[in-house]
Amino acid sequence: MKRLIFLGPPGAGKGTQAQLLAASLNIPHISTGDILRAAIANSTPLGAKAQSYMDRGELVPDELILDLIQERLSQPDTQRGWILDGFPRNVSQASFLTDLLAQLNQTCDYAIDLEVPDEVLIERLLLRGRKDDNRETISRRLEVYREETAPVIGFYKDRSALKSINGNRHLDEVAQSLQDLLQTPSLT
């Protein structure tokens, strides 16, 4: 059973790696970005509220995200474990998660930070071509990452839960490092 948080800037490969690892561990991959994009596609009230923030590369307000994650982590499939991708995105979300997990009698095994240099991130995001992958929004998302999300790395480092992985490699090599990390005897 594994409970993992994927950290790292936009374009680091969090989504891809989280999805692969979740499939191999047979646990749910919970991406707040995917949930929000689905809400927009389905024209739900949440989607309507979130869209303008996402289009601008800003974080969606905590009040929308915290309810969403609380509800998702209360669903029965999460009993097998989970991988969070794109949450927590700031320190207040991280402390909310700590309290929520305590309530649920759960602890996170690791927060995994995928490290990739900025110039590589911009290149990757421009190639990906999602709606919020234009130059202006990308640069705002990287700024928001540095200001709000990077401190979350320190939050988990202080709690000795942080593992850093070099994400500036071929997809398969990064995936292998993640598998190796989880097979380390101290973790089992």
Stretch that binds ligand AMP, among 17-25, 58-66, 117-125, 153-161 (CB under 6 A): 58-66
By CB under 6 A, is residue 57 in contact with ligand AMP? yes
Per rule CB under 6 A, is residue 59 in the interface with ligand AMP? Answer: yes
What is the nearest approach in angstroms of ligand AMP to the Cβ of residue 44?
15
Q: Is 10 in the site for ligand AMP (CB under 6 A)?
A: yes
CB-nearer residue toward ligand AMP: 41 or 184:
41
Q: Is 65 in the site for ligand AMP (CB under 6 A)?
A: yes
Contact criterion met (CB below 8 Å) for 37 and 85: no
Provide the 10 A C-beta neighbour count for residue 184. Answer: 9
- Ramachandran bin of 105, using left for φ above 0, alpha for ψ from -120 to 50, beta for the remaining angles: left
d(CA 184, CA 110): 12
Complete edge-to-edge strand list for the sheet that includes strand 81-85: 29-31, 81-85, 2-7, 110-115, 162-166
Shortest distance (Å) from residue 135 CB to ligand AMP: 15
Can residue 175 be called a binding residue for ligand AMP (CB under 6 A)? no
**Residues in region 89-108 near ligand AMP by CB under 6 A:** 89, 93
- For ligand AMP, the binding residue among 13, 28, 33, 167 (CB under 6 A) is 33
Per-residue CA distances from 18 to 3, 41, 42, 124 (Å): 12, 22, 24, 17
Tell me which amino acid residue 15 is: G
Distance between CA 27 and CA 76 in Å, rounded? 11
Nearest distance in Å: CB 129, ligand AMP: 13
**Residues within the interface to ligand AMP (CB under 6 A):** 10, 32-33, 36, 53-54, 57-60, 65, 86-87, 89, 93, 141
